[in-house]
Amino acid sequence: MAKIVSFVVLVAILLVIGGLFLEVMSGFLLPLFLALVLAVMFGPLHRWFLGRCGKHERIAALLTTGSILLIVLVPLLLLLAEAGYEAQALYRTAAGGNVAADASAPDGQTGGNTEAQEVAAFAKWASDKLVELGSRVGIKIDPNDLMTNIGDGVRRFLTPLALRTTQFLGQTLLGLLVMILAAYYFFADGPAMLQAILRLSPLEDDHTRALLDQFDGITRTVIVATLLSAFVQGLLAGAGFFVAGIGSVFLLTALSMLFTLVPFVGAAIVWVPVCLWLFAVEGRTLAAVLLAIYCCTVVSMADNLIKPLVLHGRSNLHPLLALLSVLGGVQALGPIGILVGPMVVAFLQTLLNMVHAELAKMTARE
């Protein structure tokens, strides 16, 4: 009886400490999960480095982590910086004409490129384009009210922008640091961690290894499906932009690839404004309509074809179940659900097979 009470108390303490541990680590679960995904994806590269380094695990882990920075993170950060620069350049270009006119006023009272002048000039430019767009489709818009609303919205956005940007950059840099450090230690101490999991897991070693193999396989499959879909959709969108005669085709193609990774938004966040620009600003109605039809059919449908086919071909998931696992995972967990959703379905399938095998063994023994 005393042993039972002691065990119950021990389990209760474990649950309490485990809950506190999850509370402490909750802010780092996403970076840790992404680090684990990177460790799985770049495992072959790490083993290659390990073979060249004479089994010096720390050096091999350091080289693999450095390679990840060069292959993944640096190009991604450069792309985001270029997108921000282009967005700022577009804003300055849109506001520049009226600001320059104010600065050259003879009375000298409105000179200087102040932020207020830029906001007012941008609001006037945007309202003029929207009024022109409305007139094209038969909608009458009051330009004064529209310009006021746009100006107020831009000012409300810019006022806390510095604080939001600082907080976002701080959180992002901390998350990246945790992810990089975690990836390094996963590479360096991966075998020891695996042995610890096998030792502490209440499941049989074969079952634990089966789950770990399933995690490895489904992670590679989901990453390949997601990146392949993003690459194909970006190239298809870029081809459409090139044929339509849009400038900055490389940047728009790269942005299409990037935003394709965002569920329910995808490349539409790039090609829809491009079509509106062709229609409202450049006045090329036929090009805008044809590009919109092309992107709605060819570009958007590519994602619904590639992901289910790859997931079905490499993870033994039915195409419908593969698609629903991605959509349901995103709906429940956000963007990270792209990875977690198919993993949950694959784990469930593996666990059901394990239970079926155990029941078969029990039936055979009887």
Listed by start position, the domains of the chain span 28-104+112-200, 203-366
Other Cβ atoms within 10 Å of 138 Cβ, number:
6
Q: What is the pLDDT of residue 319?
A: 65
Q: What are phi and psi of 356, to 5 degrees?
A: -65, -40
Tokens matching residue 118 = 């830029």
Counting beta carbons within 10 angstroms of the beta carbon of residue 363, is it exposed (0 to 12), middle (13 to 18) or buried (19 or more)? exposed
CB 323 within 8 A of CB 304: yes
CA–CA distance, 338 with 219 (Å, rounded to integer) = 10
CA–CA distance, 222 with 298 (Å, rounded to integer) = 22
Q: Would you give per-residue pLDDT tens digits along the chain (366 residues)?
A: 677 888 788 888 888 888 888 888 777 887 888 888 888 888 888 888 888 887 788 888 899 998 888 887 777 777 667 666 666 665 565 555 444 444 444 444 444 445 566 666 666 666 666 666 666 666 666 666 666 766 666 655 555 555 555 666 677 788 888 888 988 998 888 878 877 777 777 777 777 777 777 777 777 777 777 778 888 888 898 888 888 888 777 778 878 887 777 666 678 888 888 888 788 777 788 888 898 899 888 888 887 777 777 766 555 666 677 677 777 877 777 767 777 777 787 778 777 877 877 788 777 776
| DSSP code string of 169-185 | HHHHHHHHHHHHHHHHH
Q: What is the pLDDT of residue 98?
A: 47
Which positions ≥6 away from 233 have C-beta within 8 Å? 256, 257, 260, 266, 267, 299, 300, 302, 303
Tokens matching residue 61 = 């882990």
Q: What is the pLDDT of residue 285?
A: 82
CA–CA distance, 238 with 21 (Å, rounded to integer) = 47
Tokens matching residue 357 = 């095998």
pTM value is 0.62
E strand residue ranges, the chain: none
CA–CA distance, 94 with 89 (Å, rounded to integer) = 8
Q: What is the pLDDT of residue 101?
A: 44
Residue 245's closest CA among 273, 267, 278? 278
